[in-house]
Amino acid sequence: MRVLFLSCLSPKTGNCTTAERIRNHIVAAGHTCVLCDTREFSSASDVSSLMTQEPRVEAALAIHLFKGGRLLLGDAGVPFGVVFGGTDVNEDVKDEHKRAVMEEVLRKARFAVAFTDALKEQAQVLLVCENKKICVQPQGIETKVAIHFCWSDFLHSTGVLTKQVENLHVFLLVCGLRRVKDPLYLLEAFAEWHSQNPLVVLIIIGPVIDPVFTAEVEESVKRSVGVFLAADLSQEELHSAMQKSFALVNSSLSEGMSAAILEAMDLGLPVLARDVPGNAAIVEHKVTGLLYSSPQEFVSMSRKLLDDHELQERLVRNGKNYITTCHNPVKERITYQKLVETLH
């Protein structure tokens, strides 16, 4: 079967990584899977035209009900499934037009996938949909580190200049640079903490998604102390940087399921995440990570984490166990292969 797969494919983002992983699952089942960036199409008719070209598309899949799913409502009429993104239920549902489009997508889809039970429940509250259509399948997580990765060179490239590299405590904030990720949320509080303890630094790293906002981040970071901006890395290099860091930080205004948080847990890195529904669905406070509600609370928790080695070990151990139990890539592969079979 030839399957068209639509997703936002901004390089080195969670969406792109997730889409490539799911495509591999589909291909492993013997299907042809054509992965396309939703930004390449202006309307559903554009996608319909693509579907009717030879060789013809027989089924389709999309990540994000509005960004991707709306493009499958054209005249081609092939069976399709969708995968919820956090933006669907955290942001787009607030817009009456977008909500109506998403409900039409759900009505026509053969299936919909939610990454967490909380996301499924939220969708059922906010959108008109059939309960039996939505299945829950957490993201499968596999991490790999770069064989040749120089930590000191990485730190130097960000502007971190210290002879005490071995004593440095790096808090790594991984995100695509756009407003919903709110990378400047902790800037002032962290800079104040760094002034008191120069061995703690915050490094923001991720691809440019919004150029205008990125320029704002760059200017703010330049004016601060203890906070640095790094150029984005390949996934294996990023995982290597995670391994060398002290903790992974998430400061998003809203999340679906943060791949960076899950990857950090898999790599044995403590997680400090902003207490929003998407993060609270995968981070159990003081068990698999720490949830904070303000910059001041973040600093307070970080101080405790630095001093409490038992807490560090507990978070790392429980985080790794959680990934092994709940985010098995083999189970994810089986789920998507079974779902795609329903599109015949």
pLDDT of 14 higher than 80: no
Are residues 108 and 171 part of one domain? no
Q: Is residue 315 part of a domain?
A: yes
- The single-letter code of the amino acid at 52 is T
Residues 233 and 313 in one domain: yes
Q: Report the percent of the chain where pLDDT is more than 70.
A: 100
Greatest mean pLDDT among 44-48, 231-235, 317-321: 317-321
**Residues of 242-265 as b/e, b for ≥16 C-beta within 10 angstroms?**
bbbbbbbbbbbebbbbbbbbbbbb
Asked if residue 146 is part of any domain, the answer here is no
The CATH number that applies at residue 164 is: 3.40.50.2000
Output the six-digit token pair for 121: 């429940």
Question: Has residue 234 been placed in a domain?
Answer: yes
pLDDT score for 248: 98
> For residue 59, which of 252, 337, 316, 290 has the smallest C-alpha distance?
337
The whole-number pLDDT of residue 81 equals 96
| 174 class by beta-carbon count within 10 Å (0-12 exposed, 13-18 middle, 19+ buried) | buried
Whole-structure pTM value:
0.87
- Model pLDDT, residue 166: 84
**For position 314, what pLDDT does the model report?**
98
163-201 pLDDT per residue, tens: 788 889 999 999 999 999 999 999 999 999 999 999 999
Give the number of other CB atoms < 10 A from CB of residue 114.
24
Say whether pLDDT at 13 is over 80: no
- Residue 9 located in a structural domain: yes
Looking at the chain, the whole-number percentage of residues with pLDDT higher than 90 is: 80
Per-residue pLDDT tens for 266-306? 999 999 999 998 899 999 999 999 999 999 999 999 999 99
DSSP for 36-57 reads EEGGG-SSHHHHHHHHTSSSPP
The answer to whether residues 297 and 179 belong to one domain is: yes
The domain in which residue 250 lies consists of 151-326
* Residues 332, 284 within the same domain: no
Q: What is the average pLDDT across 130-149?
A: 90
> pLDDT grade, residue 344 (50/70/90)?
confident
Number of domains present in the structure of the chain: 2
Structure tokens of 281?
């669905």
- Both 75 and 175 in a single domain? no
Whether 193 maps to a domain, the answer reads yes
Do 321 and 190 reside in the same domain of the chain? Answer: yes
Supply the pLDDT for residue 91: 86
pLDDT score of 161: 79
Averaged pLDDT of the chain? 93
Q: Is residue 125 domain-shared with residue 215, that is, in the same domain?
A: no
- Domain contains 145: no
Question: Which band of pLDDT confidence, cut at 50, 70 and 90, is reported for residue 40?
Answer: very high
Note whether residue 312 is domain-resident. Answer: yes
